[in-house]
Amino acid sequence: MKDIYILGIESSCDETSAAIVKNGREEIATIISSQIEIHKDYGGVVPEIASREHVKHISIVLEECLEKAHMSMDDIDAIAITYGPGLIGSLLVGLEAAKTLSFVYNKPLIPIHHIAGHIYANSLVKEMKFPLLAVVVSGGHTELIEMKDHYKFEKLGGTLDDAIGECYDKVARVMDLEYPGGPKVDKLALKGKNTYKLPIPLRDDSYNFSFSGLKSAVINLVHNEEQRGNEINKEDLASSFQTVAVTSIINKVKKAIVERNIKYVIVAGGVAANHGLRTAMEELTKELNVELSIPPMKYCTDNATMIAAAGYYAYKDGRKADLTLNSKSQDTLK
């Protein structure tokens, strides 16, 4: 069978990235230009700055990617592009680049939902087995997705308000930790104890999550202690917050595994790097005798490798777009 080479392009938030993947499983080359240092000064991603930075970097990133792969556009079978969800101005930069390449080189254009990308990051390390449960935890998403086959997604539930990563970043902010604060809270949590009482959100019968109440509870706790002149033990607060956040996710994952008869679980998105969540997922899947896969960090945070990997399966599924394809800041994974 002929090898299929997909060029992936990702620009949905603050990473400009291009990658080439062979047959959906083998990374040939990846280039990522991150804007974290720029947005740090503002305590979060500033959409207008993000899109301007993408404009500056997209051509260079694409050129470097082809160069690194020792390939030209003639060697590429199709172009996979994140069309959404994400920051609209940022998405448009990648999309226009992808459309231009598709038009000039006469290559099929494959629209990729960003979450499909996070899920397919897994196929770069392990073959996916079905029925699988994808636990998608990132700065913008907290979702449980069931897949019965390649490119057959069923959303079981998701966050009703803040995403888990967003909650981590806001909690970090009130603790005076630099953006993105998630990894810093995680690091502190490892040294602390679960001493502060915080509520476990949404203990209901759904597969949904809610993190805004937990975020407010931490912010209120910090402000109240400050007003009383008490010093916060940051390590203990991080540990208490992490315990509750992770428990809330694990409870719903457990329910999904049991009720949906899941045999294979993958964790995807930036928060998959979290030590508390990784440990809890390992324990849970061991207890329920289910296989677990968590891709290495470089595939968990935003990158075009995962978009190119998803692109292969979308290509096989016949999912092509024409040049009228538009970006969407929000869209359901289908």
Q: Which of 85, 145, 186, 266 binds ligand KG4 (CB under 6 A)?
A: 186
Query: Which of Zn ion, ligand KG4, none binds 182 (CB below 5-8 Å, type-dependent)?
Result: ligand KG4
Binding of Zn ion by 14 (CB under 5 A) = no
Query: Least distance in Å: CB of 138 to Zn ion?
Result: 4
Contact 140, 163 (CB under 8 A): yes
Amino acid identity at 66: L
Query: Least distance in Å: CB of 176 to ligand KG4?
Result: 15
Beta-strand relationship, 132-137 and 142-149: antiparallel
Which CB, 182 or 311, lies closer to ligand KG4?
182
Bridge partner residues of 171 (DSSP) = none
Q: Which of 30, 35, 122, 138 binds ligand KG4 (CB under 6 A)?
A: 138
Query: Least distance in Å: CB of 106 to ligand KG4?
Result: 31
Bridge partner residues of 17 (DSSP) = 10, 32
DSSP state of 306: H
Query: Least distance in Å: CB of 142 to ligand KG4?
Result: 10
SS3 call for 302:
coil
Give the separation between CA 48 and CA 67, rounded to whole angstroms: 30
Amino acid identity at 37: E
Which residues, 123 to 182, sit near Zn ion by CB under 5 A?
138
**Per-residue DSSP letters for 62-86?**
HHHHHHHHT--GGG--EEEEEEESS
Binding of ligand KG4 by 182 (CB under 6 A) = yes
Can you give the binding site for Zn ion, defined by CB under 5 A? 138, 302
Query: Site residues (CB under 6 A) for ligand KG4?
Result: 13, 138-140, 165, 168-169, 180, 182-183, 186, 269-271, 273-274, 301-302
